[in-house]
Amino acid sequence: MAQAFDVVVIGAGPGGYVAAIRSAQLGFKTAVIEREFLGGVCLNVGCIPSKAMITATHLLHKAQHNFKDMGLMIKGDINVDMKQLVKWKQSVSDKMSSGVGQLLKGYGVTHIKGDAEFKSSKEISVKSSAGTEAITAKYFIVATGSRPIEIPGFKFDEKDICSSTGALAFDEIPKRVAVIGGGYIGLEISSYLRKLGTEVTVIEAMPSLLAGVVDPDCANVVVRKLDKAGVKIMYGAKAKSQKKVKDGYEVTVEIAGKDEVVKCDKILVTVGRRPNGDQANLKAAGIAVDERGFIKVDAQRRTNVQNIFAIGDICGQPMLAHKASHEGVLVAEVISGANRVYDAKTVPAVVFTDPEIASAGMTEAEAKAKGHNDLIIGKFPFGANGRAVSMMETEGFVKMIADAKTHVLLGVHIVGPEASNLISEAVLAIEMGARIEDLALSIHPHPTLGETIMECAEATLGHAIHIIQKPLKK
């Protein structure tokens, strides 16, 4: 006899578990199916563990380079116990994952471990080590996520040829790593490995890093820091093949029609992620999937099948955890009868490099492409901010883009300390249709990094206090 539910969520990542909790809060009998870990990729082998490693190596770097200037004297070298570092990183993920479990239990969500496959639009089967069981539901929410893209000749073994998953579990500090793909995942991992002393070579197919992902001015600050740190970056480069040799691997890279060899001990492939549209037997339910593997959805995240919704990476860009969580809440409320659609003005993006990059709204190029030909743009450097100086983290700036006639804020781009924590104010401002004056006239506490937002707004209007500006053209 099949177990019956009101709502069944397939996948317990940052979209799925949130959708399950909100469904239960709204009074639905809810189940969530997960074949691996609660919290999904993000919480277990992605966002959370990578931030743990980045935090640890940032502190290491500070101890090695800043403590002496501050008068904090350490006798001898700081030794890294990689096994303990990885163990601590794992404890962070485990703590978060068990927290999700407690939340699901607290809200009465049934957690079923196993692999889900559609039998029809009303029924799935769940396969686990205990066998196979049938489950029916009035509504299904597909939240099956994405996986790293593999490239020919570089099959993952997660030991020597790794996706981000393997790169977060090295039990020894690798001497030399070749990173194929200079996107945000590749650069975050490159940054922390370099701080551990690894020789890093980034092999990037494009002529610049993070092209089309972040504001070019912000990317340049990070590239300069990577260069200074000794990370080698190969542009316009295509990884063709690899071969195992006595002392590691040799990766053949093509640049401008010529082959070069990169020697390394580990190969990290971070060329992007692809949706899991080929899993869960979506065809049996009649769910439409596009040629790239994304499930087609409308503004309510409803698929072409009336009682089935899809959220997160599986239903399109941007493939970000916070977008999935937002959609999870949205869909649960739509099922309950709320008149809601996905209408976010902006989905913020953060790159946890050194320094961090965070953005909300449009870049200059995007604003012009959308017809905003007359712009005012202002910048304020962290070097002029007292809190940043006291932290010895003065690289970078806040940049604002606004419509010159209306002063409505169109985009904010931050590169510098705590950019990830500063961007939320910009998100709120853009969602509310704020003008530059709204930010400039809001009193910000001193001494904080947040003052850079206020001062950048003032700079965009032509009268920042803590930098010398030429008067704006009237």
Query: Which are the catalytic amino acids?
Result: 446
**Cα atoms in the 13 Å half-sphere on the side-chain side of 327:** 32
d(CA 267, CA 264): 7
- 15 three-state secondary structure: coil
Q: Which residues lie across from 253 on neighbouring strands?
A: 239, 260
Terminal-to-terminal C-alpha distance of the chain: 75
Contact of 348 with 358, CB cutoff 8 Å:
yes
Token pair of 145, please?
A: 């996520």
Q: Residue written as tokens 């990830």?
A: 420
Contact of 218 with 413, CB cutoff 8 Å:
yes
Contact of 193 with 169, CB cutoff 8 Å:
no
Contact of 284 with 301, CB cutoff 8 Å:
no
Least Cα distance to 421 among 458, 460, 393 occurs for 393
Contact of 426 with 453, CB cutoff 8 Å:
yes
Q: Quick count: other Cβ atoms within 10 Å of Cβ 448?
A: 16
What are the backbone dihedrals phi and psi of residue 101, each rounded to the nearest 5 degrees, phi first? Answer: -60, -40
What type of residue is 430?
I
- As a residue count, the chain comes to 474
**Cα atoms in the 13 Å half-sphere on the side-chain side of 468:** 0
Enumerate residues 6+ apart whose C-beta is below 8 A from 390: 447
